[in-house]
Structure 1
Amino acid sequence: MTISVNIRQVVGPEDAARRNTQGLRDGFVIEELFRPGEISLTYSHLDRMIVGGVSPVADALTIDRVAETGTDHFLDRREVALINIGGPGTVSVGGTDHALGFQEALYVGMGGGELAFRSTDPAKPALFYLLSAPAHRKCPTVLITRDMAKKVVLGSAEESNARTINQYVHPEVCESCQLLVGLTMFEPGSVWNTMPAHVHDRRMEVYLYFGMQETTRIFHFMGEPGETRHLVLKNHEAVLSPGWSIHSGAGTGRYAFIWAMAGDNMSFTDMDKVPMEALR
């Protein structure tokens, strides 16, 4: 079994402002995350976050050693969060099985051991979205359902951004070393996410857009507040967000997204808000 790993170097704001559409996509967009029967990882030098898609079908897929981390085992100096956005499946952590249904999550601390992924029904395969950051201490493995998540209701129908933020890996829900992970759901008719915009130079972030129809598209906005750019994303595409960049978007139809952060602190509310008049 081959684990494919794509390396993404850090892109600065001046470089990003000069790139064309393909250049921006090469630096920030992660395509084809979920390939049947494969493990696809992207290693970003933004806080050394690894973003991945694991798509088991008939056979189990395993992650034990990833050469790009330079350690004997993947979780020797890392923690990982997994969210299943497909059919039911099982994740084995060091030989212990954990069943994950749709939109259920699993946090695995540093030193957790080998990870093995299986789909309960190959005709309805699981889609495990993987997020991993360096760790310096071990935290317990925790299975997190959507009912367990801390819920934050924001926005309004009038502003087209009424949404519920489900905080999965969060200090009030699940202990972690530096990962913060959650899932944002929208009320019918609301299309804008993370607007008004903000930045947080203490932490990077990554979004995965999902739950979209084949023809639905997200217009994702990035860049410094006074030098914004946009990317057009489809279902199951992820986008990396450096600390200097805004990360907002609007959809042409119903969608949801998973966000994850790594960096200096674990304060979800630590953000520098950008006034609307500052956006260009």
Structure 2
Amino acid sequence: MKFLGGVIVGLLVANAAFAAPDRSLRPVSRMLGEAPQKAYVLRPEMRPSNTPVLTAITAVTAPAVMAPEVTEQAVARALRPNQRTKSLVKKAMAKKQARKKGAVCGDVDIQGEFVGFVPGRFKACGIQDAVKVRSISGVGLSQQALMNCRTAKALKKWVNKGMKPAVGKAGGGVKEIRVAAHYACRTRNNQPGAKISEHGKGNAIDISAFRLNDGSLITVLGGWRTQHQGPILKKMHKSACGPFGTVLGPNSDRFHQDHFHFDTAKYRSGSYCK
């Protein structure tokens, strides 16, 4: 009788323990970046309604969740309000306001100042709504360059999709673009009797070199025909054909041995690149 009573008590305890497995089994708490934890679920087809079945429990491994890269901006946006420090929020907002204040052409990635109408000494020269650009997508210009917004936006497109990918991680990336020329009311290549240059219309910029974050320099004159810098410069030159209407480099003529000439002149046949 004692043995039978013990069996009955054991069955009652087992039934109570497995009466509501769906409600009683809770997911195991996991922290970001930790190794996967094991959670247990009961398969419905293996769980009779009136009999607890221990063998129906199957281990399921949850994938690990990797923590995202943390930046100052991401922290300011992602942290809950009660977890944000005042100094962090203040610094992020100040930086955001400064970028908005210095934005031109309706783009915070194009930093500079609005100039307005720029007259020219020749009739074909001048810029209607000029801007003076000092940086593009975080890359500074060696001198503030005067141009129109169409040219500034073309420059941004090339910097992001052409220049930066061409350089990659070499030297830590490009810190500064060395500007050889921007707006100037003159003829093409300063030749007497030639047509007015696109520089005289705010459509052009000349670039002679690129300073990297480690202090090294990539120059058009010294690097174009070298084994190390040549491929980088040629990728830059090729990628400019599209964002700009005219792209000239050392292979074009004797006037462009030491710089790239980019302008936004439009041609029926498409971009002219040489």
TM over 0.5: no
Q: Specify which structure has the higher proportion of strand.
A: 1
Q: Specify which structure has the higher proportion of helix.
A: 2
Higher normalized contact order (CA 8 Å, seq sep 6+, divided by chain length): 1
TM range, smaller chain: under 0.3
